[in-house]
Structure formats: C-alpha cells, structure tokens
Structure 1
Amino acid sequence: MERVNAALIDAAYSTLGVKANERILEVGLGNGGHVASVLARAPRLSFTGIDISPTMIAAARSRNLASTERGQVTLQVASVEAMPFPDAAFDKAIAVNAVYFWPELTAGLREMRRVLREDGVLVVAAMTPETSLSMPFAEHGFKVYGPTSLREACFEAGFDHVQIERYADQPSSPPSPRREFFLVRASRMPRAMSEECR
C-alpha cells in the first residue's frame, strides 16, 4: 500500500508547498515510510504525525528513529476529533487517504483548523466516489465525498479559500486500475487582511 500511495503522497505534499522552518502536522500518518522524504523537501522542518492506530505509530517510530531522537519528528497516537495540541501549533497540515475513516468530516476539519496558525494551509487528498467503487474495503464504514461536500465542509470548518484539483495516478502495471483523487487545498486569510478587504 505504501508503494501504491507514494505518488499521491508526493503530489499532496507538493500541493501543500512545504518551506524551511515550518511546523508540519500529518493526520492519519500510517507507517511513516514517507516521513524522510518530507523532511528532505525543506531545511529545518518540524514534523508531527498522528494516527489512531498504536500499531501504525509503533511502526512509524521504528522507521524514523533517528529523526525522532533528535526531536525533529514527533509521532503519537491521537484522533483528529480531539488533538492534544494547542491552538495555532502548526503552519501547515495534511491528511492523505484519511478522511474516509473520520466520524464526522466537518468536525475533523474544524479541529485541524484550530491547530493551524491564522493563515495556515491544509491539504486533504481523498479518492473520488467513482474510484472508491472499485475498492473492496469501501463497504466497511468507508465514507467518500464529492467536491461539493469537501468544499462546503472546509468553509464550515473556518477556511475561506478552497481549491480542489483532480489527481490521477498512473498504474504501475496494466492490471492495476487507474485511480483518481481530489487534492483539496484550504487556507484562511489573516484577520487583518480580511478586515482591509471589507
């Protein structure tokens, strides 16, 4: 699964636009096999990853031992609905193939908005409803969203600028199905700028 999702993760982080010295949060980290490549995108990044699965966090810690020991990476078990971080703790946040499992989309996005700085940026990567039909696990508590639902949930969560693009990964071999995803980039104008625009 990690290999299959590598291109999507790369596209999602390119959409996020990581810069030097930023504090990055990833929700639904999985086994953390991609963390090293994220750290290589810009110098002096601070990376925090959460996952609801203790097994996944244990695997991620094992794979990123050096960076966790030097304090550049923090990995912990937590859920998106109640993250153990103060307000405005991060510059940017990302969730790749994670929103399907959240109890409530808007509540999760609102919590991510809370932990972002005022002008922070969020990227969500999620498969399209059409693609989900070919996934065998889609029948088991798996929620998919169209672009309208994703956009409205972002606005309800407190973001005021939302862009949605389609991303298609190319199958590595002919039997592999072509998958399409939404790349959602949500941000909020700083309050001072918002007041100037009125």
Structure 2
Amino acid sequence: MEQRKMTAAEAAKQLRHPSGEDGVTMGIQMNKSNRLIYEMTLGFLQLKAGDQVLELGMGNGHFIPALFEKENNIQYTGLDLSDVMVQEAIASNRDVIRAGRAQILEGTADAIPFEAGRFSKVFAVNVLYFWQPPAATLQEIYRVLQPGGEVVLAFRTKRTMEKLAFVDHNFTLYDPETVRKILQNIGFQVTDVQTTVEPPKAAADGSMLVQLENVCMRGVKNLDSF
C-alpha cells in the first residue's frame, strides 16, 4: 500500500515533535536529510577524550555511533521531547547505554534536567527553529556548561529554508548574524563559524528538491562564569 503523503502542516508537526507511526517514518527521513549537516557538525565539534557531551534533539539516535567513532572516550547524553524518538534511540544504542557511556532521556531543552556545569560540550542539529524563545534554551545551555565549555549550533539559513512549505508552520528561521547576536547576548563568545552548501536533494517531507546552506556556529562560555 502506498504511504499517505503528509500535508505541510503535518510534516512540520512531526519535524517539531515526532509521534506515532508517522513520527517513526519522519525520523528515518530526517536521518537522510540531515546526514550532511550532521557529518559537518561531527567534525566541527572537535571532540576530545573525557568530553561530557549533551545533544539536544537527537531524534532516533541514528548518528550516536558516529560520535563514538570520532572519539571513543566520551560520555554522551541525548535529550529529546519526543517519547517515540527516545524509545527508538534507546533501542538502537543499547550496547553503548549498557556500557554506561551514554544515556538517553525525554525532556525539553528549556529545562535541562542537570546541574550547573555538568557538560563540556552541548550541541543541537536542526532544532534551533523550534526553541521559543531561543534565549530561554540558550540560557539553560549556558547554565549546564562548564566554564570554557562550548555550544555548537547547526542550522540551515533562512534564505535557503524559506522555500520549503512546511516552515510556514511554527518554524522560526535565522540568518547566521542573528544567531551570533543571540549567543553573544546570552554571554557566549562566538569563536568559529563554518558554512557549506549541500548538493540538491529531496526536502525532509519529500515535497521538492532543495539546495540548503548549512551553518555550524561555536559559542564558548566565559572561563570566569560559575
């Protein structure tokens, strides 16, 4: 039986908060559409032995093994608001969870369930659009980072995202300079920005071919912060 095509509003809802069978399907599609931006992020993170890493919005956990391939001696935590994605991520990463090197939790990014200074790196791929307001989540990230810790935000530019029908449904799009200012207003020092343009490919909802510009931006928490 041919799979029913989602409307733009339905696709947007599933991209924001995957649920049910459609959420599982969207998670698989996001793995494909996010592959290049995630690979870019993996290099940009500059993982090192001993890092305490928090990922916000890890989806179905498809890319978690790639983090450990980059650096095996890290402690990973994934946080996602979707119970479906949390279940999928746990199921596909049981070995590293049983080994005590990873934990995957359900929760929201604007109320991170950890003490101040817990993590050396926090990153998020393609979820900035859903943080309302972004400052609330970034203040939480600042709180749970160690002094000198880093946040890495990976997102796609407004000018290349605004062509997609689903972004009209509760997405907030950004250009790099706006994101830089938001980070600086929180207290982060923006030290590095990288951009790449992807080859044309199908949009996450399968509706059209798109050519997206990916951005990775690093913010560093002041060493004097507590």
Task: Settle same-fold status: TM greater than 0.5.
Answer: yes
Contact 1:154 1:162 in 2 (8 A): no
Aligned equivalents of 2:190, 2:163: Cα separation in 1: 31
8 Å contact from structure 1 (residues 106, 153) kept in 2:
yes
1:130-164 deviation digits (Å, cap 9, x = unpaired):
11122221011001112222011101222123433
* Letter matched to residue 89 of structure 1: R
Structure 2 CA distance, aligned partners of 1:59 and 1:136? 27
1:134 counterpart SS class:
coil
C-alpha deviation, 1:4, in angstroms: 2.1
Give the match for residue 109 of structure 1: 138
1:40 aligns to what SS in structure 2? helix
Aligned to 1:130: 159
SS at match of 1:33: coil
For residues 161 and 171 of structure 1, the distance between their equivalents in structure 2, rounded to whole angstroms, comes to 29
- SS of corresponding position for 1:191: coil
Q: 1:90: which partner in 2?
A: 119
Q: Which amino acid aligns with 1:73?
A: A
Counterpart-to-counterpart distance in 1, 2:140 and 2:197: 28
Question: How do 1:144-159 residues align onto structure 2 when only pairs under 5 Å count?
Answer: 144-159=173-188
Q: What is the root-mean-square deviation of aligned Cα atoms in Å?
A: 1.7
Where in structure 2 are the equivalents of 1:1-198 lying within 5 Å? 1-171=30-200, 176-191=209-224
Q: Could you say if the C-alpha distance between residues 172 and 99 of structure 1 is closer, same or farther in structure 2, counting changes exceeding 3 Å?
A: closer
2:56–2:109: 8 Å Cα contact kept in structure 1? yes
- Give 1:172 shift: 5.5
Do the aligned residues in 2 keep the contact of 1:24 with 1:92 (CA within 8 Å)?
yes
**Percent identical residues:** 27
Q: Which moved more, 1:159-168 or 1:28-37?
A: 159-168
Query: Any idea what SS the aligned residue of 2:194 has?
Result: strand
Shift of 1:168: 1.5
List runs of 5+ in structure 2 lacking aligned partners: 1-29, 203-207
Q: TM-score, normalised by structure 2?
A: 0.80
Are the aligned partners of 1:161 and 1:188 in contact in 2 as well (CA < 8 Å)?
Answer: no
- Tell me the residue number matched to 1:195: none
* Alignment correspondent of 2:19: none
Q: Does the aligned pair in 2 maintain the 1:47–1:74 contact within 8 Å?
A: yes
Q: Is there any run of 5+ residues in structure 1 with no aligned partner, and where?
A: 193-198
The worse-fitting range, judged by mean Cα deviation, of 149-158 and 33-42 is 149-158
1:196 aligns to what?
Answer: none
Instruction: Tell me the matched-pair count.
Output: 191
Structure 1 Cα separation of the partners of residues 60 and 172 of structure 2: 22
Q: Check the 8 A contact 1:48/1:74 in 2, yes or no.
A: yes
- Is the contact between residue 107 and residue 157 of structure 1 (CA under 8 Å) also seen in structure 2? no
